[in-house]
Amino acid sequence: MWRITMTNITCGNINQNFTHIFLPTVYVLVFITGLLANYFGLKSVWRSWMKLGNINIFVLNLGVADLLYVFTLPFLVVYYAKSSKWIFGSLFCKVTRFVFNLNLYGSIGFLTCISIYRYLGIVHPLKVMGRINTRLSVAISILVWLLVIIQILPDMFFEKTPRNSTDSCYDTTSKHLTRDYLPYSASWTFTGFCVPLLIILGCYGHVAVVLASNENVDALLKQRCLKLVVVLVVLFSVCFIPYHILRNLNLMTRIMKYDGTCEEIFKHIYVAYQVSRGLACMNSAINPLIYLLVSDDFLPRLNVIRNRKRKPREPDFIPMTIRENVI
């Protein structure tokens, strides 16, 4: 049997050599790719600012969240490359972990906003005509930032460095606080990840039904929607889902070890969690693909309804105020 009690043998320390090799490598690649991709992506958004409509405000905030995190990666590279020796102080350790969460949940929040806007623009274009404007988009963006900060602010009050030492910078918290951290992490996972995921699935599920059932919808619109769905599937399947599952599993194994239970699978969960951490940070390099889906040649060419027979009193085109929301 794999189960071993502490009365017979101690769990021992997990070999962290994999972490010291894997995470610095990923962080360096994400720093280079994310910096370049977000720079050129935001530059493209800025050039097309007047053409893209109100949804570009969410794309801009998405890029800001990515760049904030990308700029912290060199410090993490130094930390893990030095065999987990944190030399930048306990306060900056908390700031670095805070920025990671700010990027992660800010990205999820703004991706949710983009999905809702696309849903409204395609499924309910006449109902939202004139109601969605720049002021509303800015207000929603501020609300997203506030909600994200409220969710992740308690994390700042958990210990991130060992007592009487700043050699380590925990991504969650120290061993003796893990039992208190797990319920917070679980609730945080539900509100910051599960709820937005359900909203996104609902939006694009309905959009898919509408596009599939209407033969007159422009092929370009279908293609762009499909590409955005693919990007979101990659983001959630690779970056978000594994991380949230394994973060909570790893916390559970730490509690079990603290209580005196050892199992061989704990080591595998730890390694898998480190991989998921590297994959989670990759969202900063993948998010710029969203910019490609709102390129400046899309809206001028977009014609959602083509060759549709309508009554004379009904318009056969989408007004500009609506087209701004159909991104």
Q: Would you give per-residue pLDDT tens digits along the chain (327 residues)?
A: 334 333 334 566 676 788 889 999 999 999 999 999 888 878 777 776 655 567 788 888 998 999 999 999 999 999 998 776 898 989 999 999 999 999 999 999 999 998 898 888 788 877 777 777 888 889 999 999 999 999 999 999 999 988 777 688 999 999 889 999 999 999 999 999 999 999 998 988 888 888 777 777 677 777 777 777 777 888 888 899 999 999 999 999 999 998 888 888 998 999 999 999 999 999 998 888 777 665 434 333 333 433 443 444 444 334 434 444 444
Four-CA torsion 269, 184, 104, 61, nearest 10 degrees: 180
Inter-residue contact 161 to 245 (CB < 8 Å): no
In the prediction, which pLDDT does 318 show? Answer: 43
Q: Tell me if 98 sits within 8 A of 170, measured CB to CB.
A: no
Say whether 217 sits in a helix, a strand or coil: strand
- Domain ranges within the chain, ordered by starting residue: 14-158+167-299+319-323
- The confidence score (pLDDT) of residue 289 equals 79
Fold observed for domain 14-158+167-299+319-323: Rhopdopsin 7-helix transmembrane proteins (1.20.1070)
d(CA 70, CA 38): 10
Q: What is the DSSP letter of 174?
A: -
Residues 225 and 327: their CA atoms lie apart, in Å, by: 9
Q: How far apart are CA 171 and CA 173, in angstroms?
A: 6
Contact by Cβ (8 Å): 195, 108: no
Closest CA to 327 of 137, 52, 124, 140: 52
Residues 129 and 131: their CA atoms lie apart, in Å, by 6
The neighbouring-strand residues paired with 305 are 217
For the chain, how big is the Rg over CA atoms in Å? 23
pLDDT value for 223 = 75
Residue 181: Cβ-neighbour burial (10 angstroms; 0-12, 13-18, 19+): buried
Looking at residue 195, what is its pLDDT? 95
Whether this prediction's pTM lies above 0.75 is answered by: yes
pLDDT value for 12:
61
pLDDT at 215: 73
